[in-house]
């Protein structure tokens, strides 16, 4: 069994000012570090690679989407933002040697409608995720994209393990899994 820690316990937005967390995680006895990356466009990839090389930590990542890049949005441009964010995350995972991209990567975290999930939301997310997952198969075949079921106060979209399994099967690529 490998014990890891999420950078989110120290910082919500990992920047170059947070590089110290990497060595601290190893000092505390962890064997893996989960980089919480909500904004891949500002993640200091090259600096993280350098810091990781000075440790024996295994890297994984997680993310949350938001109102501007939610895959369930009825607005195609917002879904496209989500696909682009996921592709950036896939590139980051490849660069830092991570084989897991988990989290609320299928809908905007905290973006609640007050209603049950709709068929349109389901189709929007599944189709957008499929595009990102197919990109991952080509760019980083070892990567697993893991969806994290969370409680109904964080999203109305995937709240149970059964929902997560159904979603992964609907996406239909072999690199999907439940976190």
* Cα four-point dihedral sign 87, 54, 102, 66: negative
- d(CA 72, CA 82) in angstroms, rounded, equals 9
- For the chain, give the mean pLDDT: 97
Per residue in 86-95, pLDDT (tens digit) is 999 999 999 9
Specify the pLDDT at position 79: 98
The DSSP result for 27-74, as a single string, is HTT-SEEEEE-S-GGG--HHHHHHHHHTS-PEEEEEEEE-TTT-TT-S
Which pLDDT does position 140 carry in this prediction? 98
Burial 36-74 (b: 16+ CB within 10 A, else e): bbbbbeebebeebeebbeebebbbbbbbbbbeebbbbbe
Query: Kindly report the CA angle at 33 between 107 and 101, in degrees rounded to 5?
Result: 30
Neighbours of 176 (CB within 10 A): 21
Give the burial string for 97-132 (b: 16+ CB within 10 Å, else e): ebbbbbbbbbbbbebeeeeebeeebbebbbebbbbb
Q: In this prediction, what percent of the chain has a pLDDT beyond 70? A: 100
DSSP 9: G
Task: Render pLDDT for 145-169 as a digit per residue (tens, 0 to 9).
Answer: 999 999 998 999 999 999 999 999 9
> What average pLDDT does the segment 101-129 reach?
96
Residues with Cβ within 8 Å of 56's Cβ and at least 6 positions away in sequence, in order, are 26, 31
**The whole model's pTM is what?**
0.96
- Whole-number Å distance between alpha carbons of 37 and 47: 15
User: Taking residues 114-139, what's their average pLDDT?
Assistant: 97
Q: From CA 97, how far away is CA 28, in angstroms rounded?
A: 21
pLDDT recorded at residue 17: 97
């Amino acid at each position: 069994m490998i014990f890891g820690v999420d950078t989110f316990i120290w910082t919500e937005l990992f920047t170059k000012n947070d590089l110290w967390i990497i060595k601290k995680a190893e000092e505390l006895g962890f064997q893996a570090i989960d980089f919480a990356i909500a904004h891949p466009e500002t993640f200091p990839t090259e600096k993280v690679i350098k810091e990781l090389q000075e440790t024996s930590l295994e890297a994984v990542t997680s993310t949350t989407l938001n109102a501007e890049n939610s895959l369930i949005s009825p607005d195609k441009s917002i879904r496209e933002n989500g696909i682009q964010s996921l592709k950036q995350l896939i590139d980051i995972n490849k660069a830092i040697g991570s084989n897991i991209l988990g989290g609320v990567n299928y809908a905007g975290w905290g973006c609640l409608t007050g209603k049950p999930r709709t068929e349109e939301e389901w189709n929007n997310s599944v189709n957008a995720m499929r595009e990102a997952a197919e990109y991952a198969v080509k760019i980083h075949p070892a990567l697993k994209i893991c969806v994290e079921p969370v409680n109904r106060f964080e999203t109305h979209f995937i709240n149970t393990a059964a929902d997560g399994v159904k979603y992964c099967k609907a996406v239909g690529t072999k690199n999907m899994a439940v976190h």
